[in-house]
Amino acid sequence: MTSAMIALMFVAAFFSGAVNAIAGGGTFLTFGVLTLAGVPPISANATSSIVQFPGYITSTLAYFKDLSKIWKEALILGLFSIVGSAGGALYLVWLSDNTFKAMVPWLLLAATVVFAAGPWLKPKNTGERHAANTLGIVTQAATSFYGGFFGAGMGIMMLASLGIATGGDYHRLNALKNFLAIVIAAVAIVVFATAGAVAWYHAAVMVPGCALGGYTGIAVAKRVPQTVLRWIVVAAGLGLSVYYFVTG
């Protein structure tokens, strides 16, 4: 791997961390640069999960006080998220690279549409907080399956499913979302690592960049309108979708 590619991977990871800290959607960048570096699609997806993981942890720590108030809901939904994520990750490693490669452009396009619709999907007024209900638990399990399988746009999907599951204000839902993202990613990483699907050298290059970008993104968020960043991510998603449709 050339030094130019290593630099590109680090930069992409940096911007991925920054974008995740501000608006979400960093998976588009990490997955895209990993496939550009020649990593097979399934391994690129698995490695991208590891690259994103530190950002989930720091985001959850920032919401620790909110989580302490909803630990029962977090525990219940976490258990179902473990099952869903394990199912999605196992399904991914069961597929062949060619099969998954054929699915990638459709997955990217669908995730881009969901991400673009994010402002309309985020719950604005979910009413009073309530105990996790059956419909919300099933929806969260399905979202977790998707998160273990691919993950791009998962955060927006979870905000919608958690609005159904527990209600409550946006910050409580976001705290719960960040915690469950750790659960989903951790389970998927264990499956991917056990299956030998992770490109560890590439991950070692990109994790520091993503962590640094996540820290820097907080400062950037105060200066750059989130709408601008959102449409940059949407453009990247559409560009990657077209690229994989053409090359696939």
Tens of pLDDT, residue by residue over 85-133, are 999 999 999 998 888 888 888 888 887 787 677 566 555 554 555 556 6
Q: What per-residue confidence (pLDDT) applies to 79?
A: 93
* pLDDT, average across residues 210-221: 72
Lowest mean pLDDT among 25-39, 60-74, 111-125: 111-125
The residue range of the domain holding 124 is: 3-247
Residue 223 Cα to chain centre, angstroms? 24
Q: Summarize the confidence of residues 233-242 as an average pLDDT.
A: 78
pLDDT band of residue 217 (cuts 50, 70, 90) is low
Expressed in angstroms, the distance from the first to the final Cα of the chain is 23
Judged against a pLDDT cut of 70, whether residue 29 lies above it is answered with: yes
Per the structure, how many domains does the chain have?
1
- The answer to pTM > 0.85 is no
| Predicted pLDDT of residue 90 | 96
| Residue 55 confidence (pLDDT) above 60 | yes
Percent of the chain scoring above 70 in pLDDT = 81
Question: pLDDT value at position 112?
Answer: 78
Whether the per-residue pLDDT at 141 is higher than 60: the answer is: yes
* pLDDT at residue 198, as a whole number: 93
